[in-house]
Amino acid sequence: MSKDDSAYKLFERASNIQFSAPREALDILWEAVKLYPNTSTVTNYVLDSIIRIAEINKYWDEAIEACSIAQRLKHDYRKSYELESQACYLDKEGKRIEALEVRLKKETLHGKWYGTYRDFGDQFVNLGANDRAWRLYNEATTLAVKNGISPHTVRQSMANLLISEGKPNAAVEMLIIGISEAEQLNKKGVPKSLITALRKSLKAAGVKDLSFANELAGICEAKGQDQAISIFRESITKP
């Protein structure tokens, strides 16, 4: 059996217990690093697995050590692991927002994608950094439209944030805009998830007849988003 095969067997053993027994899984992976340090299995699988498991379980020192080894073995990705190591140091110190900023920098080293900004926006929301999340959502929307992609998933994240900020009416209008964009840019039209999100926002806005979501979507398609928004505003001002 080759060294790579032996290393891979250890990797598989660790993978099978990474959630049920993360400490044991890490011990097995470190054994692979010790016994077979120059194999492609350690370079391409084991180190990344150590970093992932260690970060999930907040074993920051081990994640940092694995990043250091990866910097030496994976020269083409050295900057990426350097940034991940910095993020782990910040996490270890309890600086979660700063760590997330470093990870965003890492994820955009080789290009910017709307999905990356949306996902990081969601993560900043989870940390209570709403202003930063808004900036990222706006960047995500701009990137998506620029590349001819419907940004409806970003609009859904925006709507969720607006609801959490106590602005359900604005959430409804945000989703109407998302419906209009999806009609123009999404090949399959308006996804069901967007209508479901609109119902949620309408409910938060105090609308009892949630079939209004389909009506608004139809108005948006036939007459445009401005007309749909206008009709929504009229509906909530009626006695």
CATH number for the domain that contains residue 24: 1.25.40
Query: What is the band of 204 on the pLDDT scale with cuts at 50, 70, 90?
Result: very high
* 144 and 223, same domain (yes or no): yes
Q: How far apart are CA 237 and CA 239, in angstroms?
A: 6
* 20 and 98, same domain (yes or no): yes
Query: What is the band of 203 on the pLDDT scale with cuts at 50, 70, 90?
Result: very high
Residue 29: domain span:
1-110
pLDDT score for 189: 87
pLDDT score of 237 more than 90? no
pLDDT score for 239: 61
pLDDT score for 188: 87
pLDDT score for 236: 86
Q: How far apart are CA 131 and CA 150, in angstroms?
A: 23
Counting the structural domains of the chain, the total is 2
pLDDT score for 1: 80
Mean pLDDT of 108-124: 96
pLDDT score for 185: 94
* 128 and 98, same domain (yes or no): no
* 3 and 43, same domain (yes or no): yes
* 94 and 184, same domain (yes or no): no
pLDDT score for 61: 98
Mean pLDDT of 186-210: 93
Q: How far apart are CA 82 and CA 79, in angstroms?
A: 5
Q: How far apart are CA 65 and CA 12, in angstroms?
A: 21
Q: What rounded mean pLDDT belongs to the chain? A: 96
Mean pLDDT of 63-79: 96
Mean pLDDT is lowest, of 13-17, 28-32, 167-171, 187-191, for 187-191
Whole-number percent of the chain with pLDDT over 90: 95
Asked if 222 contacts 190 with a C-beta cutoff of 8 angstroms, the reply is no
* 43 and 138, same domain (yes or no): no
pLDDT tens sequence across 148-188: 999 999 999 999 999 999 999 999 999 999 999 999 998 88
pLDDT tens sequence across 52-62: 999 999 999 99
Q: What are the angstrom distances between the C-alpha of 235 and each of 7, 207, 214, 229?
A: 65, 9, 15, 10
